[in-house]
């Protein structure tokens, strides 16, 4: 039986780089006044040896947890999951770990989730979904920890990234208007989606929002909202959804009701999840760069933790990807 090798220690890294253990520790923790050249030499030695830092030991020595609390409504949404994954990767490069708390969008559950992160010793907080509610945002501000978040329309220092829903909905609505649609429904959980649709309708001054604009929180509610749009006397000829999951649920509902997509109803999603390309019909959707959102959120947190200059808010670029689920309005 092979004898297991002893783990590589900080002392091994320091010896390989020809520096003191104190210098190696500061370089790996990105703290202190280590020069850029020296830091690169130490990082190269750590990578060559396969060194894995003991975050628990570092936290005890520094008197800080090294843990970032991440608040989300749900990890079921692919876009949110991608943002959190990128956020975690970037923070890990800087020596931080994350703890995720999903609260389902309820203010009471959000406060419970926040308190749980505080009990676990979170050193900073990230609101990884927009529009978590005024009560939760106020509680995050009041806890006294540094924090950064995603918002529908960032304002101030704390909200460093916008989620793209408002401008994405406006882009989708303008496209539907160009196809001749004049009755557009909405299935979304964020008021910013409704606001983006309203922006497009007002500026064109030709279309009206039909009955059925609905705020939903899960797939059952999305299907119920789609049935309501189909059964309305003033039936929508197109529907903008706040996520690709909701769009897929809307297509499924249409299939069950015998309504052809896109011949009778056009449907647009949000997020450009991979499954949308394989759906039948393939989903027209709004693409947003989840990796950029996650990195910018992480960089905002790191700037705050390392007492660097605050970053300017990041306006997420959006792009409409036209596939098979949209077509010109019939009749």
Select 165-288's CATH number: 3.40.50.1820, 3.20.20.10, 1.10.150.130, 3.40.50.2300: 3.40.50.2300
Residue range(s) of every CATH 3.40.50.2300 domain in the chain: 65-163+289-316, 165-288
Structure tokens at 257: 């009701």
Q: Is residue 248 a contact partner of residue 282, using CB atoms and an 8 Å limit?
A: no
| pLDDT, tens digit (0-9, with 9 covering 90-100), for 260-306 | 999 999 999 999 999 999 999 999 999 999 999 999 999 999 998 88
pLDDT the model gives residue 208: 45
Report how far apart the first and last C-alpha atoms of the chain are (Å, whole number).
Answer: 76
Higher pLDDT, 246 or 19: 246
Select 10-53's CATH number: 1.10.260.40, 3.40.50.10600, 3.30.70.1380, 3.30.200.20: 1.10.260.40
How distant, in Å, are the alpha carbons of 94, 153, 301, 308 from that of 145? Answer: 18, 22, 11, 16
Examine residue 281 and say whether the peptide bond preceding it is cis (omega within 30 degrees of 0): yes
Confidence of residue 57 (pLDDT cuts 50, 70, 90): low
CA-nearest of 194, 328, 187 to 250 is 187
C-alpha span between 194 and 240 (Å, rounded) = 9
- 3-state percent helix, strand, coil for the chain, nearest multiple of 5: 45, 15, 40
| pLDDT, tens digit (0-9, with 9 covering 90-100), for 193-236 | 777 777 777 655 444 444 444 467 788 999 999 999 898 887 88
Tell me what the mean pLDDT of segment 61-82 comes to.
83
Tell me what the mean pLDDT of segment 109-116 comes to.
88
- 65-163+289-316 has which fold? Rossmann fold (3.40.50)
Q: What integer best gives the mean pLDDT of the chain?
A: 84
Low-confidence winner among 37-46, 195-204, 235-244 (lowest mean pLDDT): 195-204
Residue range(s) of every CATH 1.10.260.40 domain in the chain: 10-53
Tell me what the mean pLDDT of segment 38-53 comes to.
83
pLDDT the model gives residue 213: 47
Select the highest-mean-pLDDT range: 25-29, 139-143, 203-207, 323-327: 323-327
C-alpha span between 15 and 24 (Å, rounded) = 9
CA-nearest of 162, 154, 232, 152 to 188 is 152
> pTM of the full predicted structure?
0.79
Q: Which residue has the tokens 């015998």?
A: 258
Q: What percent of the chain has pLDDT over 90?
A: 42
Residue 120 has pLDDT above 60, yes or no: yes
CB within 8 Å of 134: residues ≥ 6 apart: none
């Amino acid at each position: 039986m092979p004898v297991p090798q002893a783990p590589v220690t900080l002392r091994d890294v320091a010896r390989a780089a020809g520096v003191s253990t104190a210098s190696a520790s500061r370089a790996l923790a990105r703290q202190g006044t280590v020069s850029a050249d020296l830091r690169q030499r130490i990082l190269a030695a750590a990578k060559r040896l396969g060194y894995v830092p003991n975050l628990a030991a570092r936290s005890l020595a520094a008197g800080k947890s090294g843990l970032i609390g991440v608040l989300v409504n749900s990890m079921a949404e692919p876009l949110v999951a991608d943002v959190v994954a990128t956020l975690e990767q970037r923070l890990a490069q800087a020596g931080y770990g994350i703890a995720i708390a999903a609260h389902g969008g309820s203010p009471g559950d959000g406060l419970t989730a926040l308190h749980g992160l505080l009990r676990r010793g979170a050193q900073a907080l990230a609101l990884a979904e927009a529009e978590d509610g005024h009560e939760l945002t106020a509680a995050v501000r009041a806890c006294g920890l540094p924090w950064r978040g995603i918002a529908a329309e960032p304002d101030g220092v704390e909200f460093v990234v916008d989620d793209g829903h408002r401008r994405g909905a406006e882009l989708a609505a303008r496209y539907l208007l160009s196809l001749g649609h004049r009755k557009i429904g909405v299935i979304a959980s964020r008021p910013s989606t409704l606001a983006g649709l309203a922006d497009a309708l007002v500026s064109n001054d030709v279309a009206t929002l039909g009955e059925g604009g609905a705020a939903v929180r899960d797939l059952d509610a999305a299907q119920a909202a789609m049935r309501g749009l189909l059964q309305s006397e003033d039936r929508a000829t197109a529907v903008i959804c706040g996520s690709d999951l909701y769009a897929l649920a809307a297509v499924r509902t249409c299939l069950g009701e015998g309504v052809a997509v896109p011949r009778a109803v056009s449907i647009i999603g949000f997020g450009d999840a991979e499954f949308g390309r394989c759906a039948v019909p393939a989903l027209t959707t709004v693409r947003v760069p989840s990796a950029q959102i996650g990195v910018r959120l992480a960089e905002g947190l790191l700037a705050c933790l390392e007492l660097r200059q605050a970053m300017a808010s990041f306006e997420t670029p959006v792009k409409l990807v036209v596939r098979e689920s949209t077509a010109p309005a019939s009749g």
